[in-house]
């Protein structure tokens, strides 16, 4: 049920993300067309700000769910706001003459607020399904991650169908051009969000019972009172050490996502402007490439999950998996460097689409080593009473990464010569590849210390209770509870 709820919510988000930059840079047609006519740099900067705020507001939404609303209500309110935001973006320009930009910003703002309530809490409930020490949790998050990406995979194809099917031919400056109907794409995204809300409303109580109904902080207080326990300090030493691990790993996740999120920005524009997308007489829509990452995840997530299980005692710990993810990100950008080199500095020469396929493949393999493992790690390490808050904090790192990624991508320039843009793209791809590889090396050598700070959270033979007994013997008062 959570898989399907998240599937349609992610369909909604990725459908609008796939066309956001394309909509912003599309020319304003003489008949009132469907684009806003921004420069590439302006569009990428706004894209970075939007995606950054999308991951910033979960910090607030997580706190509200933990202390006031409970996860279930937060998801209902958030989903409703997100649906409203998508439909505002879908408002045809002819309905709002002169107010296109205003309505656009209101729609984005509504989406951001709704996402803050929805995003951290749907993931936290996945962690709530498993008792502490249950090692099925990593596999569960990988399956949940498949739901995310099945929705994302559908989005690229369906949104392309929408904006082309409902587009039309128009004569501009004496030349006939095809005008993409971006608003139809945003409308599809809104419908996806409605599906998500309906599924949650109809089936949540049946399959989740009371999970997510009571705010986590209140639940934690009730449990403590039942056991006759009183806290003498906000956080114990074990909890502080585990939170330190989340913070350190968060810094490296910024580097990964700042590179990875070029997919919806700079790489999206590169696909649209500099890639040969012809297969015979058919031109592959730009947004189809946005679905490659999701398709690869659906295909390979079970394989990666199986590999971790089969490795058994030899399974790498979370920091090593993160380092591997950074190395794979660097390899992906080597393919983008190859795409630019194939063009030889000549913007009239299009690069092969297979470079993009290779880049998205390695980026996806990196993501599978990092993202679901990071989500699971937070549920293992975060204290129960601040579970959703810590998940929000984790998304805060992703927020910083998205904004940084948008700024980095905007260095392609403000609509200058195509050759200059190509040279800038080469510098950006190279810089990200070098930074990711170097960061992977640093994290690999930090891995053992980070595992020590986890205090047995990743041990296959040590339950949390045993970890606590060990710590109490040394310092006298410690507690650690699994939760995201």
Tens-digit pLDDT profile for residues 79-131: 999 999 999 999 988 888 888 889 999 999 999 999 989 887 887 788 788 77
Q: What does the pLDDT read at residue 105? A: 94
Please provide the average confidence, as pLDDT, over all residues in the chain. Answer: 83
**Where does the pLDDT of residue 416 fall: very low under 50, low under 70, confident under 90, or very high at 90 and above?**
low
478 close to 238: Cβ distance less than 8 angstroms: yes
Q: Is the pLDDT of residue 19 over 70?
A: yes
Q: What does the pLDDT read at residue 175? A: 76
The listed range with the strongest mean pLDDT (174-178, 233-237, 268-272) is 268-272
Q: Is the pLDDT of residue 25 over 90?
A: no
Q: What does the pLDDT read at residue 459? A: 61
Look up the pTM and report it.
Answer: 0.76
Tens-digit pLDDT profile for residues 330-380: 999 999 999 999 998 887 889 999 999 999 999 999 998 888 778 778 878
Q: Is the pLDDT of residue 328 over 90?
A: yes
Q: What does the pLDDT read at residue 275? A: 92
Q: Which residues contact 194 (CB under 8 A, 6 or more apart)?
A: 83
Tens-digit pLDDT profile for residues 33-80: 578 888 888 888 898 899 888 878 888 888 888 888 888 899 999 999
Tens-digit pLDDT profile for residues 253-287: 999 999 998 988 889 889 988 999 999 888 898 88
């Amino acid at each position: 049920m959570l898989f399907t709820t998240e599937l349609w919510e992610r369909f909604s988000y990725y459908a609008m993300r796939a066309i956001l930059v394309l909509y912003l840079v599309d020319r304003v047609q003489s008949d009132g067309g469907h684009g806003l006519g921004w420069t590439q740099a302006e569009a990428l900067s706004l894209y970075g700000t939007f995606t950054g705020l999308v991951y910033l507001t979960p910090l607030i939404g997580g706190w509200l769910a933990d202390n006031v609303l409970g996860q279930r209500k937060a998801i209902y309110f958030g989903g409703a706001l997100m649906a409203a935001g998508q439909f505002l973006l879908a408002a045809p320009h002819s309905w709002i003459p002169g107010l296109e930009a205003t309505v656009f910003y209101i729609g984005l703002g509504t989406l951001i607020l709704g996402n803050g309530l929805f995003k951290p809490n749907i993931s936290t409930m996945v962690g709530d399904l498993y008792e502490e020490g249950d090692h099925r949790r990593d596999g569960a998050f990988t399956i949940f991650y498949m739901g995310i990406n099945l929705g994302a995979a559908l989005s690229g194809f369906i949104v392309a169908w929408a904006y082309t099917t409902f587009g039309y031919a128009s004569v501009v400056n004496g030349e006939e051009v095809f005008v993409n109907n971006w608003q139809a794409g945003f409308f599809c995204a809104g419908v996806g969000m409605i599906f998500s809300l309906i599924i949650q409303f109809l089936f949540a109580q049946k399959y989740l019972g009371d999970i997510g109904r009571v705010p986590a902080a209140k639940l934690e207080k009730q449990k403590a009172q039942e056991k006759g326990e009183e806290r003498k300090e906000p956080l114990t030493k074990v909890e502080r050490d585990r939170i330190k691990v989340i913070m350190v790993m968060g810094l490296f996740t910024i580097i990964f996502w700042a590179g990875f999120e070029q997919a919806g920005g700079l790489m999206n524009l590169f696909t649209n402007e500099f890639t040969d997308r012809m297969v015979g007489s058919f031109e592959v829509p730009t947004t189809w490439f946005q679905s490659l990452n999701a398709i690869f995840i659906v295909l390979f997530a079970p394989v990666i999950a199986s590999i971790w299980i089969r490795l058994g005692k030899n399974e790498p710990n979370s920091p090593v998996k993160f380092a591997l993810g950074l190395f794979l990100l660097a390899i992906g950008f080597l393919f983008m460097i190859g795409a630019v080199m194939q063009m030889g500095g000549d913007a009239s020469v299009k690069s092969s689409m297979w470079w993009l396929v290779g880049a998205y493949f390695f980026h996806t393999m990196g993501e599978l080593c990092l993202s679901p493992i990071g989500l699971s790690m937070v549920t293992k390490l975060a204290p129960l009473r601040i579970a959703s808050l810590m998940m929000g904090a984790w998304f805060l790192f992703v927020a910083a990464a998205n904004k940084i990624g948008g700024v980095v991508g905007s260095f392609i320039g403000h609509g200058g010569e195509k050759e200059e843009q190509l040279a800038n793209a080469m510098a950006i791809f190279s810089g990200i590849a070098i930074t990711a590889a170097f960061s992977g090396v640093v994290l690999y050598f930090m891995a053992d210390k980070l595992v020590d700070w986890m205090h047995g959270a990743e041990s296959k033979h040590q339950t949390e209770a045993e970890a606590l007994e060990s710590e109490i013997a040394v310092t006298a008062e410690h507690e650690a509870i699994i939760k995201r």
